[in-house]
A and B are shown apart, each in its own frame.
Chain A
Amino acid sequence: MMANLMTTEGPKLARLLDSAPGGPEWLQRLRDEGRAAFLRIGIPTTKHEEWKYTNLRDLAELEFVDAPQAAPASPWDGTESEAGATFENGRLVRWQGAEGVTIEPIAACIANDCPGVREHLGQYARPTEHPFVALNTAVFEHGVVVRIAKDAQVEKPIHLRFVNGAADRPYVTNPRVLVVAERGSEAFILESHYGEGVYFANPVFEVKVEENAHLEHVKVQQESDEAFHIATIEGHQEANSVYHTVSASFGAQLSRNDWNVYLNGQNVETRLYGAYVGMGEQVSDQHTRLDHAQPNCNSFEVYKGILGDRASGVFNGKIFVHQDAQKTDAKQTNQALLLSPTATIDTKPQLEIYADDVKCTHGATVGQLEEEALFYLRARGIPFDVARSLLTYAFASEVLDHITHEQVRDQVERALYEKLGGGFPV
């Protein structure tokens, strides 16, 4: 009987494990955990509950080569920032700190045992469950550690820019980022992803928001139409902190975000906003998970998706209210707009509540544009096509209004406008 080559060899991505870098013992333990988990889970099929609607078959089939050297210009090159880092094809090529912000290559931090690295790395994004966090942990080489100093008020965006260039064959990037917003600090992180050609980007972020810190984190994903983008962001908040996030997901043939936040202190506020758009054959999968572990915390979540042509979308929003988390106030809304009869969305709000004095609400709607609103615009002279484009844009841009930095907001809104094909005057 013929042996099944796929199962005996494991996924092609597992070959990355052969050249895994080393590191100090504490890191090696994490890497080994990741390696074991990835070999155990492999590339999940749709039988895996967390990957039920997102088929990774095409990714599993890819043969990967080394990343190329050249990277294209990114539309995000000119965005106002002082501190930041640039990754080209997964390699960290530039980084710069600013007053109140230190940015260091993660490899140097590990080698020099910088304060906090050992304490935080791999503690929020655990390498044992999510196969792609496992893979990243086992093999990552490039990354940065961003540290926002205690009580620092950083006004300009800290820009982490990921640019991927076209190559003859697909390649993989596994960037790793650790952000520590120290006590009482206030900062704005912009994370932009842009690329050309076929590649698989697998970034993993761990974001620690310490007591009384206020961190805004905006992610814009504009990967190439041929790319795969599977990202994990694990936020971890301490008492009286605010973590305000906005996710704009427009690119990639297949994209997946797992944006999870652990509310581990009292009076924490977490805001998750997301706008995702899929056209053509795009697959856009948005997973979020909020863990209310302590009393008196608020979380507020709004995700909106627009799906046209034969695109498919997934929204899976979990809220876990732990037993001790009395007086939790959690509100989740997800809405999807289907622009064509062949576009699909699977949405799954999931509330698990183990405390008895809490306020949790969730609402999900899926539909077409409202006839009433369309008629209203037309009755004022605005042609049908323009009215439709305008309302479609407005549906998602409402979410992007929560980006507080004006230039970044304008640029993300512009990206949304272009993604939707314009269609109305600006």
Chain B
Amino acid sequence: MLEIRNLHARVEDREILRGISLTVQPGEVHAIMGPNGSGKSTLAQVLAGRDAYEVTEGEVLFNGRDLLEMDPEVRAAEGVFMAFQYPVEIPGVSNTYFLRAAVNAVRKHRGEPEISAGQFLTFIKEKIKLLGLTNDMMTRSVNEGFSGGEKKRNEIFQMAVLEPTLCVLDETDSGLDIDALKVVSNGVNALRSPERSMIVVTHYQRLLNYIVPDYVHVLVQGRIVRSGGKELALELEEKGYGWIEAEALQTA
């Protein structure tokens, strides 16, 4: 599904990703962990197509096609979804309008007919409940006046509606209390399927108690320095990132 080969990226003069290679098969959940500034979020942003980052080396193949060549909207239409760490407020555009426009843009890309406002409301009804959102929030402007937890739930709701095949969660757990974390995790777990892959970027192991990964990778200074199963996350939780950073520096 996704193949990242020797990916290097920088912002202005600063190199942030320094040779990342990662293969994600359909249905797999990969956690990307690492200390602050290790490049986790940059990786998520590069996959989503943020042009603030310049890819200087390497390639990313999505279902065999060059992902880096695609505009962000094409990536989304092809099935890539990033849940933002800081969801953006868009005054004047209602949630429902925004999401229907997104769904129809994606459907158009796939050569499918657009869906009407009425059909759309039926379609999202169950998903609104799943994420504990309200109809009132749907008619409000995108993320405007939402609490931190509501914004994150809204991200996962969008994911549920757009039904992507590759989900990238960028620090979705940051700023969530335990109840919100459970709601968000339930939403994510409901979307797990043999055809859908996930990359879960997080600083803390806590999220991974709820969204249990198949693989855990540790990023330090723009490189994956260690990969393992879900138990690696527990080890990091216990020992912190210090030892692994020290190890990485020695071998570098």
Which residue of B76, B109, B114 contacts A380 across the interface (Cβ within 8 Å)?
Answer: B76
Contacts of B104 in A (CB 8 A): 425
Q: Does B34 contact A (CB under 8 A)?
A: no
Contacts of A379 in B (CB 8 A): 48-49, 72-73, 75-76, 81-82, 84
Report the stretch among B4-12, B88-96, B227-235 that lies at the interface: B88-96
Tier of interface size on chain B = 20 to 34
Give the distance to chain B from A388, nearest Cβ to Cβ, in Å. 12
Q: Which residue of A lies closest to B77 (CB)?
A: A381
Contacts of B81 in A (CB 8 A): 379
Q: Let me know if A378 and B92 touch, CB within 8 A.
A: no
Known: A379-B49, A379-B82, A383-B73. A373 touches B102 (CB 8 A): no
Q: Does B98 contact A (CB under 8 A)?
A: yes
Give the distance to chain A from B159, nearest Cβ to Cβ, in Å. 10
Q: Does B50 contact A (CB under 8 A)?
A: yes
Contacts of B101 in A (CB 8 A): 382, 386, 390, 424-425
Q: Let me know if B92 and A380 touch, CB within 8 A.
A: no
Known: A381-B76, A382-B102, A425-B101. A376 touches B90 (CB 8 A): yes
Give the distance to chain B from A414, nearest Cβ to Cβ, in Å. 15
Q: Let me know if B92 and A397 touch, CB within 8 A.
A: yes
B164-199 near A? 1/0 per residue, CB < 8 Å: 000000000000000000000000000000000000
Contacts of B216 in A (CB 8 A): none
A390-426 near B? 1/0 per residue, CB < 8 Å: 1101111110010000000000000000000000110
Which residue of B71, B84, B98 contacts A378 across the interface (Cβ within 8 Å)?
Answer: B71
Contacts of B84 in A (CB 8 A): 376, 379
Q: Let me know if B92 and A395 touch, CB within 8 A.
A: yes
Q: Let me know if B90 and A382 touch, CB within 8 A.
A: no
Bound-complex Cα distance A387 to B87 (A): 16
| B:55-101 near A, CB below 8 Å | 71-73, 75-77, 81-82, 84, 87-88, 90-93, 98-99, 101
Q: Which residue of A lies closest to B50 (CB)?
A: A375
Contacts of A397 in B (CB 8 A): 92
Q: Let me know if B90 and A375 touch, CB within 8 A.
A: no
Q: Let me know if A386 and B72 touch, CB within 8 A.
A: no
Q: Does A384 contact B (CB under 8 A)?
A: yes
Bound-complex Cα distance A323 to B57 (A): 67
Give the distance to chain B from A264, nearest Cβ to Cβ, in Å. 34
Q: Does B160 contact A (CB under 8 A)?
A: no
Interface centre among A377, A386, A401 (most CB of B within 10 A): A377
B37-57 near A? 1/0 per residue, CB < 8 Å: 000000000001110000000
Q: Does A18 contact B (CB under 8 A)?
A: no
Q: Let me know if B105 and A384 touch, CB within 8 A.
A: no
Q: Does B205 contact A (CB under 8 A)?
A: no
Contacts of B73 in A (CB 8 A): 378-379, 381-384, 387
Q: Does A168 contact B (CB under 8 A)?
A: no
Q: Does A9 contact B (CB under 8 A)?
A: no
| B:119-169 near A, CB below 8 Å | 158, 162
Q: Let me know if A373 and B92 touch, CB within 8 A.
A: no
Interface centre among A383, A384, A390, A397 (most CB of B within 10 A): A383
Which residue of B50, B88, B105 contacts A373 across the interface (Cβ within 8 Å)?
Answer: B88
Q: Let me know if A376 and B105 touch, CB within 8 A.
A: no
Q: Let me know if B88 and A393 touch, CB within 8 A.
A: no
Give the distance to chain A from B114, nearest Cβ to Cβ, in Å. 8
Contacts of A395 in B (CB 8 A): 91-92
Q: Does B106 contact A (CB under 8 A)?
A: yes
Contacts of B76 in A (CB 8 A): 378-381
Q: Does A58 contact B (CB under 8 A)?
A: no
Could you show 30 A-B contacts with beta carbons less than 8 Å apart? Answer: A373-B88, A375-B72, A375-B88, A377-B90, A378-B72, A379-B72, A379-B81, A379-B84, A380-B76, A380-B98, A380-B99, A380-B102, A381-B73, A381-B76, A381-B109, A382-B102, A383-B73, A384-B71, A386-B101, A386-B105, A390-B93, A391-B93, A393-B92, A394-B91, A394-B92, A394-B93, A395-B92, A396-B92, A397-B92, A424-B101
**Chain A interface residues (CB < 8 Å from chain B):** 370, 372-373, 375-384, 386-387, 390-391, 393-398, 401, 424-425
**Chain B interface residues (CB < 8 Å from chain A):** 48-50, 71-73, 75-77, 81-82, 84, 87-88, 90-93, 98-99, 101-106, 109, 114, 158, 162
- 5 smallest CB-CB distances across A and B, nearest first, come from A394-B92, A381-B76, A380-B102, A398-B92, A378-B72
Q: Given contacts A379-B75, A380-B76, A380-B162, list 20 more A-B pairs with CB under 8 A.
A: A372-B88, A373-B88, A375-B50, A376-B84, A379-B48, A379-B49, A379-B76, A380-B98, A381-B102, A381-B106, A381-B109, A382-B73, A382-B105, A383-B73, A383-B105, A386-B105, A390-B93, A398-B91, A398-B92, A425-B114
